[in-house]
Chain A
């Protein structure tokens, strides 16, 4: 158990819909990362937040957005969903201090299926 929790575990929805994925980081971790992993593909970095502020952006679509709240949990919002958005979405956390070796601890993931 990494200490990172993600809800829901599974999500099935239809094209055009909007969903919200939730992540609670390890206690004390300030950074949250979101990744997308499609079937048989590698991890695609989407976005990182550090202590409530956006820190780094990867290949995140404009239809996707995220935020980190004062209690440090994070939400990833996916809108106008398309079939190709079906994937595993992972959240990771790190950084109990601002200067750190940035080891990332991953949650169990949310499996999104768009029908």
Chain B
């Protein structure tokens, strides 16, 4: 199972772009990269998922280099409400595979947005 490494914490200011990088050197061919956001005492919330290159949705962008050994979550123009823990998750996307579901959440990155 691919182990992920993220910075423990990051600080930013309102209106700035924030980039959080996750390292996953042992990512497997079938693994997808998924990012979640968690507020205190709430369940994690899906932000974005990708396999390679770049994925963009209304909330964030995900950049994945060709070797897929890392990924970067980009949050444009953050606000105070983006203060949360962000988890990078790497795991098997095919539920038919017995490794599916063993994706392990790392320690996450605590993002603090200041006014």
Contact = CB atoms under 8 A, between A and B. Distances in A.
B95 A98 contact: yes
A2 interface: yes
B93 A104 contact: no
Majority secondary structure, B binding face: loop
Interface in B66-115: 87, 91-96, 98-108
B107 to A, nearest CB: 5
Interface residues of A, number: 33
A42 B41 contact: no
A31 B41 CA distance: 23
Contacts of A99: 94-96
A71 B81 CA distance: 37
Contacts of B46: 103-105
Given A45-B104, A45-B105, A100-B93, A88 B41 contact: yes
Contacts of A56: 98-102
A100 B95 contact: yes
Given A45-B102, A45-B103, A56-B102, A101 B32 contact: yes
A50 interface: yes
B74 to A, nearest CB: 19
Interface of A: 2, 4, 30-31, 33, 35, 42-45, 48, 50, 55-56, 58, 88, 90, 92, 94-95, 98-109, 111
28 contacts: A2-B43, A2-B45, A4-B43, A31-B95, A33-B101, A42-B105, A42-B106, A42-B107, A43-B87, A45-B101, A50-B95, A55-B101, A58-B102, A92-B44, A98-B96, A99-B94, A100-B95, A101-B49, A102-B91, A102-B92, A102-B94, A102-B101, A103-B49, A105-B46, A106-B44, A108-B43, A109-B42, A109-B43
